[in-house]
Amino acid sequence: MLWAAAAVLGSCLGHAGAWEDCDGSYGPGTFSVAPRVNITHDGVFMYMLAPVGAPADGTLLPAVVFMHGGTGAWEMYDKNFQLYASHGFVVVFPFVKDPVKDRSSFTTQTNGENQMRGVYYLRNATKDPQSPLFNRVDAGNIILNGHSMGAACTIRSAQRLPAGTVKAAIVQHPFICGPFGPPPLPSTWMPAQLAEAMDKVPLLMTTATNDAAFWPAPGTAKHEVGCFGKVTPPRPGTGIVEFTADACAEDGAFKPTWTDGGHDCPFKPTPETPWVLAMMRLYGQLQGSRTSKCYELLWGSGADSLRNSKNVTQAVLHEPTTSALVV
């Protein structure tokens, strides 16, 4: 009920609150960004990046808890995190073990365990006078985001956390669904778990036509779209977007250390990152407002909408219903 009232108020005021609406340009936001901080919470090592200061009207900051892909490192996503923090988001980046061990393909986690710890850390930190986040974070405005192995975690965290704990889930290039995967059970996720996650939060999944991580391209995207479609009936406020091979082409920006095409398209500043940010802003800052530009870009069908982007091979988008916003 509170949420419904807040959303109505938000639209009456034309978003006069602390957070700006999307304008379709996706440049950096107005916050400068403090240096990254090391955190250990409940035995889990994490990096934390926060904006400097807070909105003048006392509004608390939203946050995103991001889980990296297998063999992943902060540096793959750093530019995107700086962008999110400049828009007012606290970024929490839990490791499975630590920055060195997580670079090994033997360090894996797919059940969302450490990503959930990231959520618990934020709930604690905003109440902890010793924390740099003391009284600064709205622990009710947390977004989950992950890539590859971390995307599998994001499905599981969204499914496992009680309804109302997080505001949205953004799942970039998840594994293929189970039971046979790859990877096979118990490391993959099941369509029934995705359905449970979708019953709790708006959920946006991404992939790319040239993702060849699990099947030769375009097989991986085809199977991911198939897995998404196994949730029946379709849940409002959910979607999967397959970006084009052109938009997700390898551009050498991370060489010689990493590639950034296909499966690793989430490292790039475009085409996925702007939409990830729009989803974060819509649900972490604008309370899902149906009258916002963020909403129109993500769920609408205008010339500048996600579904009509020339960077998109196909998009299956199930627009939220009014009731889906009252979570």
Ligand X SMILES: *[C@@H]1O[C@H](CO)[C@@H](O)[C@H](O)[C@H]1NC(C)=O
* Number of shown-chain residues binding ligand X (CB under 6 A): 14
Q: Which of 157, 238, 292, 309 binds ligand X (CB under 6 A)?
A: 309
How far is Cα 146 from Cα 125, in angstroms, rounded to an integer?
22
Q: Which of 44, 247, 280, 286 binds ligand X (CB under 6 A)?
A: 247
Q: Rg of the chain over CA atoms, in angstroms?
A: 18
Residues 149-188 touching ligand X, rule: CB under 6 A, are none
How far is Cα 212 from Cα 229, in angstroms, rounded to an integer?
20
Q: Does 32 bind ligand X (CB under 6 A)?
A: no
Q: Check if the beta carbon of residue 320 is closer than 8 Å to that of residue 202.
A: yes
Q: Does 23 bind ligand X (CB under 6 A)?
A: no
Which long-range contacts (C-beta less than 8 Å, at least 24 apart) are formed by 296-302?
297/22, 297/24, 298/204, 299/239
- Whichever of 237 and 261 has its CB closer to ligand X, that residue is 261
As given in the structure block, the two tokens for residue 169 are 């889930």
Tell me the per-residue interface mask from 254 to 283 with ligand X, x by CB under 6 A, - otherwise.
----------------xx--x---------
Tell me which stretch binds ligand X (CB under 6 A): 36-44, 105-113, 147-155, 196-204. Answer: 36-44
Q: Does 311 bind ligand X (CB under 6 A)?
A: yes
What is the closest distance, in whole angstroms, from the C-beta atom of residue 179 to ligand X in the complex?
Answer: 35
What is the closest distance, in whole angstroms, from the C-beta atom of residue 122 to ligand X in the complex?
Answer: 11
Preceding amide of 269 cis, omega within 30:
no
As given in the structure block, the two tokens for residue 264 are 């690793």
Tell me which stretch binds ligand X (CB under 6 A): 8-16, 34-42, 176-184, 223-231. Answer: 34-42
Which long-range contacts (C-beta less than 8 Å, at least 24 apart) are formed by 191-196?
191/227, 191/230, 191/231, 193/155, 193/156, 193/159, 194/155, 194/159, 194/227, 194/228, 194/230, 194/231, 195/231, 195/235, 196/159
Q: Does 42 bind ligand X (CB under 6 A)?
A: yes
What is the closest distance, in whole angstroms, from the C-beta atom of residue 125 to ligand X in the complex?
Answer: 7
Q: Which of 6, 20, 34, 99 binds ligand X (CB under 6 A)?
A: 99
What is the closest distance, in whole angstroms, from the C-beta atom of residue 22 to ligand X in the complex?
Answer: 12
- Whichever of 124 and 187 has its CB closer to ligand X, that residue is 124
How far is Cα 298 from Cα 278, in angstroms, rounded to an integer?
7
Q: Does 128 bind ligand X (CB under 6 A)?
A: yes
Those residues whose C-beta lies under 8 Å from the C-beta of residue 35, and which sit 6 or more positions away, are none
How far is Cα 8 from Cα 291, in angstroms, rounded to an integer?
10
- Whichever of 115 and 287 has its CB closer to ligand X, that residue is 115
Q: Does 79 bind ligand X (CB under 6 A)?
A: no
How far is Cα 48 from Cα 38, in angstroms, rounded to an integer?
6
What is the closest distance, in whole angstroms, from the C-beta atom of residue 26 to ligand X in the complex?
Answer: 8
As given in the structure block, the two tokens for residue 272 are 């996925």
- Using CB under 6 A as the criterion, which residues of the chain lie in contact with ligand X when the complex forms? 38, 41-42, 98-99, 124, 127-128, 247, 270-271, 274, 309, 311
